[in-house]
Chain A
Amino acid sequence: MKKITTLCAAISALALSTGFAIAEADAPVLSIDGVVIATRAPAPEYLDIDEVISGWVFRTVETQALQMDDFDNPGMIFVDQALDDWNEVNGSEGKSCASCHTGGPEEFAGLRTVLPRWNEDAGAVWTMEDYINNSLVEHMGAEPWKVGKAQMNAMVALISLQSRGMPMNVAIDGPAAETWALGEEIYFTRVGQLDMACANCHIDNYGVMIRADHLSQGQSNGFPAYRLKNAKLNGIQSRFSGCMKNIRATPYAVGGPEFTALELYVASRGNGLSVEGPSVRN
């Protein structure tokens, strides 16, 4: 763990020293309980930008502060609830998550950084939600949880937390390439009555105000995100849904193949940024 922290610090120092010329460069460094979070990183070579920046950088000083201490982060309440679910027996097999994952949620350190990823057995790209539901159904004989709903978001937050500070590192090649390409296509396709693509706001206009909102790069490294707006944890695909509705487009299904492809693509745009989960946003 120590090694990873040092590495992240080095990455964020590097990113800072490249001196990005927008006002957000003055934002403080995000460090939570001694874990330094890389909120800026050099962009992966397949992107058309120089630097990737976490949504945290674009929030107000007050909102940023809520994420700098876990006691102030309202998202942590849900992480505690997920820990109860972790230990609770559920389903026909009489098992809890803890029955199989005897090392505790800590077993999953690093997992969040590589998701979504290709699952050979399933022959598809899987999100963390897919893995959780697979365990619920196949290993525990329980009902799957609804993707995007409270119980699921909380468990994703608990597992993501184990990777806090580690750099996102999803694979875009090999068997995942086709899904990634679909995600990329969705990201750049203009939709809805307002006829906009994700890229119009989150590539062309990040850093500027759109009415009262400070546009970020729309990164996913902070998800699930506790939003002050609705006072709960929000899954990444629900956020996609919200952005699509804002441009008056019909969202794809949360948990469906299109949004999973988009999730992989968006995650790849944040490779190098630290996992924050759960983050605080407005």
Chain B
Amino acid sequence: MKHITLLAASFSTALATATFAQEVTPADVVFSEYGAVEASLTGVAGNAENGASLFQNRKLGNCLACHVNSDMSDQGFHGEVGPPLDGVGANWSEAELRGILINSKNTFDGTIMPAFFVETAGVRTLDKFAGKTILAAQDVEDILAYLLTLTE
């Protein structure tokens, strides 16, 4: 029994190391000339269902604060600061959308849309958010998976 536990422990350590090695840090993200990001941030496929809940979560993505999304018409109050996101999964490539999520300023110069996965946490950032990204790497991949379902 002891032997098996040990084995299991070393196995899960190996897994954790593997995931860690693959996860891209904000500093390492590679953008194309137009702000697209080809490579997944985690190597783990995005979970669209979780992405949908992050999309409307006021503390995390809060995308609904600024974007109308007909797919969520059951939710009250969609914001109008940005364009509606209906059809974005068809109008943009996966790499372009990933880039927009990570740092939309590379795609839209001077945009109000927050950069969700960047190192520079802004000027005078509140202590509890300082040095942190708004979304975790897997959150970005999950929201991306959800956006790709918005094809009409």
Interface residues of A (CB under 8 A from B): 189-196, 200-201, 204-205, 208-212, 215, 244-245, 248-250
In the complex, which of the residues A190, A201, A210, A211 contacts B122, with contact meaning CB atoms closer than 8 Å?
A190
A209 to B77, CA, bound (A): 8
Give chain A's interface secondary structure class: loop
A95 to B80, CA, bound (A): 54
A195 to B120, CA, bound (A): 10
Contacts of A193 in B (CB 8 A): 114, 121-122, 125-126, 129-130, 132, 134
A73 CB to nearest chain B CB (Å) = 26
A165 CB to nearest chain B CB (Å) = 33
In the complex, which of the residues B76, B81, B114, B132 contacts A208, with contact meaning CB atoms closer than 8 Å?
B81
B2 within 8 A of A: no
Categorize the interface residue count of chain B. 20 to 34
Contacts of B144 in A (CB 8 A): none
B73 CB to nearest chain A CB (Å) = 15
A194-B114, A205-B112 given as contacts; is B125 within 8 A of A210 (CB)? no
A192 CB to nearest chain B CB (Å) = 5
B33 within 8 A of A: no
Interface residues of B (CB under 8 A from A): 58, 62, 64-66, 76-81, 112, 114-115, 121-127, 129-130, 132, 134
28 interchain pairs, CB-CB under 8 A = A189-B123, A191-B122, A191-B123, A191-B124, A191-B125, A192-B122, A193-B122, A194-B122, A196-B112, A201-B112, A204-B112, A205-B112, A208-B79, A210-B66, A210-B80, A210-B81, A211-B64, A211-B77, A215-B81, A244-B124, A245-B126, A248-B122, A248-B125, A248-B126, A249-B123, A249-B125, A250-B125, A250-B126
Q: Is the CB of B126 within 8 A of A200?
A: no
Residue of B nearest to A204 (CB): B112
